């Protein structure tokens, strides 16, 4: 029950919910880096990083480091899987259309599937 309580608490913040929704709807991208999330949401990097930390501590997301980049994706925990499935249905991609459009632009700039933010 503690896992669920922490998950709901983490998603109680609107910016964290938007972050999680982007990760849910772009899970096939192989993870999203902080700079891509910053561009998609239009909020400062320090706030995105802070919110990602809260989502990670709640067990909803995980990250993989590749060089100096960290790529975030939905975790394999049961609460994360269940909430992800629920949110796909309850809050479809149409609820975050602008953010997803900006995110897709950022993803189109990747080279070999990896972020190249310093080359922009």
Judge whether 24 and 105 are in contact, CB under 8 Å: no
SS3 content of the chain, % helix, strand, coil (to 5): 65, 15, 20
- Gap between the Cα atoms of 42 and 59, Å rounded: 25
Q: Are strands 61-66 and 69-74 parallel, antiparallel or unpaired?
A: antiparallel
- Gap between the Cα atoms of 11 and 20, Å rounded: 8
Rounded to two decimals, what is the model's pTM? 0.84
Residuewise pLDDT in 10s, the chain (120 residues): 677 888 888 999 999 999 999 999 876 667 899 999 999 999 999 999 999 999 999 999 999 988 888 899 999 988 899 999 998 888 777 767 888 888 888 888 888 777 776 543
């Amino acid at each position: 029950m503690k896992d669920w309580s922490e998950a709901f608490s983490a998603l109680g913040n609107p910016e964290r919910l938007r972050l999680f929704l982007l990760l849910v709807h772009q899970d096939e991208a192989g993870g999203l880096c902080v700079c891509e999330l910053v561009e998609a949401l239009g909020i400062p990097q320090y706030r995105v990083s802070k919110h990602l930390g809260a989502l990670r501590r709640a067990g909803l997301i995980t990250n993989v480091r590749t060089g100096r980049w960290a790529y975030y994706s939905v975790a394999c925990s049961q609460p994360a899987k269940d909430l992800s499935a629920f949110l796909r249905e309850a809050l479809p991609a149409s609820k975050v259309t602008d953010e997803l459009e900006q995110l897709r632009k950022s993803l189109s700039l990747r080279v070999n599937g990896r972020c190249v933010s310093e080359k922009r």
